[in-house]
Amino acid sequence: MSIIVQKFGGTSVASAQKIVAAAERAVAAKRDGHQVVVVVSARGKKTDELVGLAAEITDRPQPREMDMLLATGEQESVALFAMAVQKLGEPAISMTGGQIGVVTEASHTKARIRSISTIRLKQHLDAGKIVIACGFQGVDEEGNITTLGRGGSDTTATALAAALTADECQIYTDVDGVYTTDPRIVPAARLVPRISYDEMLEMASLGAGVMHSRSVEFAKKFQVPLRVKPSFSHAAGTLIAPEGDDPGRVVTGLALVRNEARVSLCEIPDRPGVMSQIFASMAAHKIPVDMVVQNVAARGSAEVSFSVPEADLAETLTAAAAAVQELGSGEVRSGTNVSKVSVVGAGMRTHTGVAAQMFQSLAEAAVNLEMITTSEIKISVLVAREKCDAALKAVHRGFNLDADTGVAPGVGVRHPVAERPAVGDDELLKEVVSRLTHMEDIVVSEVQLDESQSRVTIENLPDKPGVCAHLFGAVAEGDVMVDMIVQNVSHTGRAQVSFTVPRDELQPCLLLVREVISAWEGAELSFETEIAKLTVQGIGLRTHTGVGDRMFRALAEEDINVQMINTSEIRISVVVAADRGVAAHGCLVKTFGLG
C-alpha cells in the first residue's frame, strides 16, 4: 500500500480551526487509499514562546531541560491533531519521537538522528490508523528527550518518509511552492512544478525560505519525492524529485544574493599549499566563503577571489591579511556593493550555449561581469549591486522563464513516483536505517575525477559588458560543451577568463576562440590539452568553510598545485596537472572518508 507523509508546520496548526483543516487533508489522503503519517510542528510561535519563558528564568538553561521543555510544543499539537482526525471519523494515534523510535545522539538541542524504527509505525498503519508524529524530537540511548534543532520537523518528516520508503513526503507551508525567482523582484516569476534535488540545493537562497537544505539532502540520499504544498489552497505546489527528463526546460530558476562583497588575494605564490593556508585562515575566522574563483596563474603568481556576505567583510579582510602575512607575499584587494546572480538548471548538463545566453542577456542590460564561477548545473556571476535587479529581470526574460509553458499551478501535475531499488522490503529498510546512522554527518558525499577535458585561457580581455557574451556565443555556435568557467576580478581593466571543454572539442573550440578574440587588441589565447579536474560534491560547503580547508590541505600534503578553482552551493571543483589527477583523487577520497 502506498504511504504518504504529510508535514504541517507551526502556522498550519496555529489554531483549532487550522488543525481541523489540516486534519481534513490527512483524512482525504487516507480515503484516497493511502496509509498516512502526519508530522506536526509546535503550534504557531509556541517554540519561541517556550524559549522566551526559559530565558525569563535563567540565561543558562541546561540543554537537557530545554529539550524536555521544547518537545512539549509538538506533543500538544499531535494530541490535538489526533483528536481532530478522530472527530472527522478516522482512527488516529499520536506518538512522540520516543514512542515511534526516533533515536538520536545525546547532544541536546541539535541532536542528529541515529536510527528510526518503523515497527510501531507500521503496526498502527496496518491497523488502519493515521499516525500523528511529533516532529523535531527523538530520544537518546538513555531515553532522554532530544530535539533536532530549530526547524527540525522537516527533517523528521523526510527521515520518516525515507525509513518508510513513502511514496511522497508532502511539506505544507505558507508559500505556493518554489518560484523561478523572487516574485518581489521579478513579477513575471512563475511557480516551478518540478525541480531536482540538486537544483533545489543550488537555488539555496531561494529555497531557504521554503525548506531546510538538510532535509533536501536527506530526501536526495533516499530518493524521497518531496512536495512543497500551500496549506491555504489545493494547488499542487512544487515536486522536488530525482532529475526528470524535461527536454523543454534548460534552466529552472535564478537566484540572487544581494549583499555580497568581494575580496581578492593578488600576487600570491603559485605553489602547492597556498590555497590550503588561505582556506585555513578563513576557516579559523569562521568566514562563510561563497564564490571562490581562481584562474590560471599568469607570470608565476596566482590570484584567488572570494565573495562573502557583506556583513563579514571586515573579518574576511582580517583573515586575508593574516594569510598574506603567513605566505610572505601578496596583496589584498576588496570591493563592496556587489551581488551574485545565478542561473540554475539541470539542462545545462546536456545543452550547450547556456552560459552564452546568460551573458548575452546581461550584456543587453549593460551589466559587467566582475567574477564568474560555474558548476555542472549552475552559473554564477558577480555584478554591481545597483544593477542586480535589472540583471535578474533580463536573464529571466532571456531564458523565456517569463512565459514558462510548464504546467500551471494547481492543474494536472503528475505525481511521478521515484523508482526504488528492487530489494525486499525488510532488506531495504535495514539498508535505509543503516545509512541513516551516518546520514547527518555526511557533508561531502562524492569525489569525482574527470580526465577528459582541456583548458582554454584568454588573457588581457577588455573588462566591459558584452565580452563574455561574444566569446561564449561564438563557442556555443560551434556546439562546444563548455564546462567549468572561471573569471577572476579584474584590477587592471583587463580580464582573464578560463574554461574547460571536452578534449576532443578543443581544436574546433580554439579555432572559434581565435577568430572571436582577434577583434580585441592584446587578447592572448593559451591552452592546456591535458588537465585533471576534481570535484568534491556535498552540501553546506559554503557554511562548512572546513571543507575547503580540508580539501586544500589534503592537496597540499600531496604536493599538488591547484591551478583553477570554482565553487557552487554543492560543489568545489579544481583543476590540477593531468599527471596528478589520480593522486589528487586518492587523497581527497581518503580525506573525506569515502574510500
Nearest distance, CB of residue 227 and Mg ion, angstroms: 19
C-beta of 15 vs 123, nearer to ligand ASP: 15
Q: Which residue is nearest to Mg ion (CB)?
A: 10
User: Is there binding between residue 41 and Mg ion (CB under 5 A)?
Assistant: yes
- Judged by CB under 6 A, which stretch of 78-86, 146-154, 161-169, 405-413 contacts ligand ASP? 146-154
Sequence-distant (6+) residues with CB within 8 A of 586 are: none
Q: Is 42 in the site for ligand ASP (CB under 6 A)?
A: yes
The helix/strand/coil state of 101 is coil
Site string for Mg ion, 364-403 (x = CB under 5 A): ----------------------------------------
Instruction: Record the cell numbers describing residue 496, joined without a space.
Output: 582573464
Burial zone of 119 (CB within 10 Å; 0-12 exposed, 13-18 middle, 19+ buried):
exposed
Label residue 246 exposed, middle or buried (CB < 10 Å: 0-12, 13-18, 19+): middle
**Grid cell listed for 359:** 551573458
The listed partner (Mg ion, ligand ASP, none) that binds 538, CB under 5 to 8 Å by sort, is none
Is residue 44 within the footprint of ligand ASP (CB under 6 A)? no
Using CB under 6 A, pick the residue from 12, 94, 146, 153 that binds ligand ASP.
153
Alpha helix (H) ranges present in 236-379?
274-284, 313-327, 354-364
What is the Cβ-side half-sphere exposure of residue 44, based on CA atoms within 13 angstroms? Answer: 9
Q: Which contacts (CB < 8 Å, 24+ apart) does range 116-124 have? A: 116/159, 116/160, 116/163, 116/433, 116/436, 117/433, 118/160, 118/163, 118/164, 118/429, 120/95, 121/37, 121/95, 121/160, 121/164, 122/164, 124/93, 124/95
Q: How far is the CB of 148 from ligand ASP (least distance, A)?
A: 8
Site for ligand ASP in 107-136 (CB under 6 A): 135-136
Residue from 406, 289, 394 nearest 341 by CA: 394
Chain residues 7-26 in contact with ligand ASP, contact rule CB under 6 A: 9-10
Under DSSP, the state recorded for 348 is: G
Say whether residue 152 binds ligand ASP (CB under 6 A): yes
Q: Is 77 in the site for Mg ion (CB under 5 A)?
A: no
Return the number of the residue (213 or 573) whose C-beta is nearest Mg ion: 213
**333 contact partners, CB below 8 Å, separation of at least 6:** 263, 264, 266, 489, 491
The reply to whether 138 sits near ligand ASP by the rule CB under 6 A is: no
Residue placing its CB nearer to Mg ion in the complex, 10 or 409: 10
- Measured from the CB atom, the residue of 70 and 93 that comes closer to ligand ASP is 70
210 vs 283, which CB is nearer to ligand ASP? 210
Q: Three-class SS of residue 309? A: strand
Binding residue for ligand ASP, selected from 6, 12, 35, 41, defined by CB under 6 A: 41
Residue nearest to ligand ASP (CB): 153
CB atoms within 10 A of CB 222: 22
Task: Kindly give, in sequence order, each residue whose CB lies less than 8 Å from that of residue 174, ignoring residues fewer than 6 positions away.
Answer: 9, 11, 12, 230, 231, 232
Is the separation of the CB atoms in 395 and 254 below 8 Å? yes
314 vs 309: CA distance, rounded Å: 10
Stretch that binds ligand ASP, among 39-47, 337-345, 536-544, 582-590 (CB under 6 A): 39-47
439 binding partner (options ligand ASP, Mg ion, none; Cβ < 5 to 8 Å by kind): none
Q: Which is nearer to Mg ion, 35 or 41 (CB)?
A: 41
Please identify, using beta-carbon distances, which residue of 111 and 354 lies nearer to ligand ASP: 111
- Report yes or no: 271 and 330 within 8 Å, Cβ to Cβ: no
Among 7-15, 238-246, 271-279, 506-514, the segment contacting Mg ion (CB under 5 A): 7-15
Nearest approach, Cβ of 68 to ligand ASP (angstroms)?
Answer: 14
Which listed range, 145-153, 185-193, 369-377, 533-541, lies at the site for ligand ASP (CB under 6 A)?
145-153
Residue carrying the nine cell digits 536526495: 220
Buried-state track 398-432, b at ≥16 Cβ within 10 A, e below 16: bbebeebebeebbeebeeeeeeeeeeeeeeebeeb
Closest contact distance (angstroms) between CB of 160 and Mg ion is 17
Report the length, in residues, of the chain.
595
By C-beta, is 160 or 327 nearer to ligand ASP? Answer: 160
Among 8, 10, 282, 450, binds Mg ion (CB under 5 A): 10
Q: Binding residues for ligand ASP, per CB under 6 A?
A: 9-10, 41-42, 47, 73, 135-136, 150-153
Residues that bind Mg ion (CB under 5 A): 10, 41
